[in-house]
Chains A and B, each alone.
Chain A
Amino acid sequence: MAKKFDKPKMVPVPSHSIIPERDIDKSPILECSHLGIDFGGLRAVDDFNLTIGRTEIAGLIGPNGAGKTTVFNLLTKVYQPTRGTILLDGMDTSGKTTVQINRMGIARTFQNIRLFSNLSVEDNVKIGLHNQEPYSMLSGILRLPNYWRQEKAAHQRALELLSIFDMQDLAGVKAGALPYGAQRRLEIVRALGTNPSLLLLDEPAAGMNPSETAELMENIVKIRDTFQIAILLIEHDMSLVMGICEGICVLNFGQVIAKGTAEEIQNNPEVIKAYLGTHKEA
């Protein structure tokens, strides 16, 4: 299995030349410092610091409205942060667009599923492969040899990626006709198609039953192991978060209230307070 999904050779990080003593393998893939965004007078996220290792599975949790999805939108530049910096692989991402961020190596899924629902499952994955199969529009229209070669490779690759979730038999099905759980899985496959170094999953287990969730947990770990990438996930299902996340960050009202391993988080009084509230003494 590991052979099959071998990641293409790691491209040297441009910052390497600037900081020669930097150890690429040990350096974090993502470093956010003092990240913040205001919507008018509302501080949606403030002073958000997070570091994620190259092959780490990290969790971002917090009560509803804590600003978790806003953090994802900041990382992928759907919103430009008001304050703070995001370093991806040691490179500053300020001023980049969503498209450029994806090419730099961040791929994501969405809380409210955003598939290309009129297109087939295979086409959805191939759209994820968009920047991995470079041929011009002209060679597509004229069906030049390059077109056939790239399309064949894309077809193979799409089926390979779909086989992670055993979905290769659904390749011809319209994406919008898939059941809910399969749509969530397809979003992950599409994101993987862009060859990311950091995968952001926004509530991947939402709407799944316990056995589906357990299967998803295994698959997330499998994806990390085969692709050797970092994964940051938002999730309300604590069995999933506590089960697979190596580092957990808890957000409440836009601010980080706790960071640490599953055990540390579970025993943190701040976290318990945020989720359950405090007992008011009469």
Chain B
Amino acid sequence: MKRLSKTSRANGLTYVMVVAAFVILQALSAGGGLSSTLQGQLVPICAYVVMALSLNLTVGILGELSLGHAGFMSVGAFAGTVAAVSLQAALPSAPVRLLVSMIVGAGCAAVAGFLIGIPVLRLNGDYLAIVTLAFGEIIKSIVNNLYIGMDGVGLHVSFLKNTMTLGEGGRMILNGPMGIPGIQKISTFTAGFLLILVALIIIFNLVNSRAGRAIMAIRDNRIAAESVGIGVTKYKMMAFVLSAALAGAAGTLFAQGQTAVIATKFDFNTSILILVFVVLGGLGRMWGSIIAAAALTILPEALRGFATYRMLVYAIVLILVMLATNNPMLKSFFARIIPKRKGASVDG
């Protein structure tokens, strides 16, 4: 009979891992030990780590497959960036502006998650997955045709560019398919690190609380969960909205680290990429998601030496890693080294 590992210990190790990685990378970067490409990758890595964590909440903890997670990242990216650009004068301090724009991004993504959740969470399994895929594409199309401009009066929103008449000194922020160009890069590695910590705290604390147990109960056995008086729809929605909000914050972080963002960046491929992080890292296993997201974001850059064959090698590496992590021999080998780690449903 397997004993459950102390979840709190595994969670603690995850925090230690994240903090240690941050300290080491900060030290390296201060000492000039990081290549400029890797330096530029730090913020996207943090964003993808938070994306993987938030999707793991939906897929691993709630147990519903979502194929449209990039849609929430997109909502967060554009809402957050619009907020950041329009608040540029009001909030001169970059960190404060980033914080406010992240909250705006997370809030808008949460609203989107709620609206999408109403029809989607009535479905189960494969059907739910397909519908989330469709909603991801719908979000992409909407943002792709959205024009937002700002003048002295305030923000103007339109789906048709030629109907927008901006006042004196007004300018376009979001320009439909052109996206948002000329973003001031205010995202920093420290901000990304803090967002990862916040996401971890939220997820770990949720999982070890009444609401988290209810969510996992629904995942394990919906009929039994109802029989003990757990409102299934409420808790499904809670997890889904929280997951969307975290993805929104990650989207804002990502966008504020780029010089420009366009809607087509957050398409189906991105959703699948994030799902790959989650599956590779292990469902419900947060430290796995962090490592997988970080490693797979760096990998294409690290494989630059292969030039044309880069993506081919990337795919092969991915297949090999998947095979290796699911190899029973390797699994039992690791189980012998770290016996306490095995058997937990939700650990760091």
Chain A interface (Cβ < 8 Å from any Cβ of B):
76, 78, 97-99, 102-103, 107-108, 110, 114-120, 123, 126-128, 130-131, 133, 135, 137, 140-143, 147, 150-151, 154, 172-174, 177-178, 190-191, 193-194
Cα–Cα, bound, A128→B229 (Å): 8
CB-based contact A190/B228 at 8 Å: yes
A130 and B227 contact, CB distance less than 8 A: no
Q: Which residue of A lies closest to B221 (CB)?
A: A114
Task: Known contacts A118-B216, A119-B216, A119-B345; decide if A137 and B211 are in contact (CB<8 Å).
Answer: yes
Which of B1-9, B175-183, B256-264 is near enough to bind chain A?
B1-9
Q: A99 with B226: in contact, given A123-B213, A147-B209 (CB under 8 Å)?
A: yes
Expressed in whole angstroms, the Cα–Cα distance for A107 and B226 within the complex equals: 10
Interface residue B223 (Cβ < 8 Å from any Cβ of A): yes
State whether B216 touches A98 (Cβ < 8 A).
no
Taking a contact as CB atoms under 8 Å apart, the answer to whether B210 and A135 are in contact is: yes
Contact: A130 with B224, CB < 8 Å? no
Residues of B within 8 Å of A118, CB to CB, are: 216, 219-220, 345
Cβ 8 A contact of B223, one of A78, A123, A150, A151: A78
- Contact in complex: A177, B210 (CB < 8 Å): no
Q: Contact between A140 and B217 (Cβ–Cβ < 8 Å)? A: no
Q: State how many angstroms separate the Cβ of B70 from the closest Cβ of chain A.
A: 25
Q: Which residue of A lies closest to B220 (CB)?
A: A116
Residue B238 at the chain A interface, CB threshold 8 Å:
yes
Beyond A116-B216, A154-B210, 17 additional pairs, beta carbon < 8 A: A76-B227, A78-B223, A107-B227, A110-B224, A114-B227, A127-B217, A130-B213, A130-B229, A130-B230, A137-B209, A137-B238, A141-B206, A172-B4, A173-B4, A174-B343, A178-B1, A193-B228
Does B190 touch A at the CB level, under 8 Å? no
Chain B residues within 8 Å of A147, by CB: 209
Residues of A within 8 A of B206 (CB): 137, 140-141
Q: Name the distance in Å between B47's Cβ and chain A's nearest Cβ.
A: 22
With A140-B210, A172-B3 in contact, is A131–B227 under 8 Å at CB? no
Contact partners of B2 in chain A: CB under 8 A: 173-174, 177
User: Are the C-beta atoms of A99 and B231 separated by less than 8 Å?
Assistant: yes
CB closest residue in chain A, given B224: A114
Given A119-B220, A140-B212, A174-B2, also A98-B227 (CB < 8 A):
yes
For the complex formed, measure the closest distance between the CB of B182 and the CB atoms of chain A, giving whole angstroms: 37
**Residue ID in chain A nearest B230 by CB atoms:** A130
B286 CB → nearest A CB, Å: 15
Residues on B with beta carbons closer than 8 Å to the beta carbon of A103: 229
Residue pair B228, A117 in contact (C-beta under 8 Å): no
Q: How far is the CB of B63 from chain A (nearest CB, A)?
A: 10
Contact between A117 and B229, CB atoms less than 8 A apart:
no
Cα distance A147–B208 in the bound complex, in angstroms: 10
User: When chains A and B are docked, how far (Å) is the Cα of A78 from the Cα of B304?
Assistant: 58
Please, could you name 26 A-B residue pairs with CB atoms under 8 Å apart, sorted by A? A99-B226, A99-B230, A102-B226, A114-B223, A115-B221, A115-B224, A116-B220, A118-B345, A119-B216, A119-B220, A127-B217, A127-B230, A128-B228, A130-B228, A130-B229, A130-B230, A137-B209, A140-B209, A141-B209, A143-B205, A147-B209, A150-B210, A154-B210, A174-B2, A174-B343, A177-B2
Across-interface contacts of A141 in B (CB, < 8 A): 201-202, 205-206, 209
B213 and A119 form a contact (CB under 8 A) = yes
Interface residues of B in 194-246 (CB under 8 A from A): 201-202, 205-206, 209-214, 216-217, 219-221, 223-232, 238
In the complex, the 7 A-B pairs of residues with the closest C-beta atoms, listed nearest first = A140-B209, A102-B229, A118-B345, A114-B224, A116-B220, A137-B211, A98-B226
Contact partners of A174 in chain B: CB under 8 A: 2, 4, 343, 345
> Which residues on the B side are within 8 Å of A137 (C-beta)?
206, 209-211, 238
* Chain A residues in 8 Å Cβ range of B205: 140-143
Quote the shortest CB–CB distance from B202 to chain A (angstroms).
6
Report A-chain residues with C-beta under 8 Å of the C-beta of B343: 174, 177
Are A102's CB and B228's CB within 8 A? yes
By beta carbon, the residue of chain A nearest B213 is: A127
Contact B228 A107 (CB under 8 A): yes
Chain A residues with CB under 8 A of B209: 135, 137, 140-141, 147, 151
Nearest residue (CB) in A for B3 is: A172
- Per the bound structure, the CA–CA distance linking A130 and B217 in Å amounts to 11
- Establish whether residues B4 and A120, one from each chain, have CB atoms under 8 Å apart when the complex forms: yes
- Closest residue of chain B to A137 (Cβ to Cβ) is B211
Question: Which residues of A are found within 8 Å of B227, using beta-carbon distances?
Answer: 76, 98, 102, 107-108, 110, 114, 191
**Smallest CB separation, A151 vs chain B (Å):** 8
**Contacts A140-B211, A173-B2 given; does A116 touch B226 at CB 8 Å:** no
Pick the contact of B214 from A102, A130, A143, A190 — CB < 8 Å? A130
Distance of B215 from chain A, by nearest CB (Å):
10
User: Which residues of the other chain, B, contact A151 by a CB distance below 8 angstroms?
Assistant: 209
Q: Give the distance in Å from the alpha carbon of A114 to the alpha carbon of B227 in the complex.
A: 10
Choose among B213, B224, B225, B226 the residue with the greatest number of A CB atoms under 10 Å from its CB.
B224
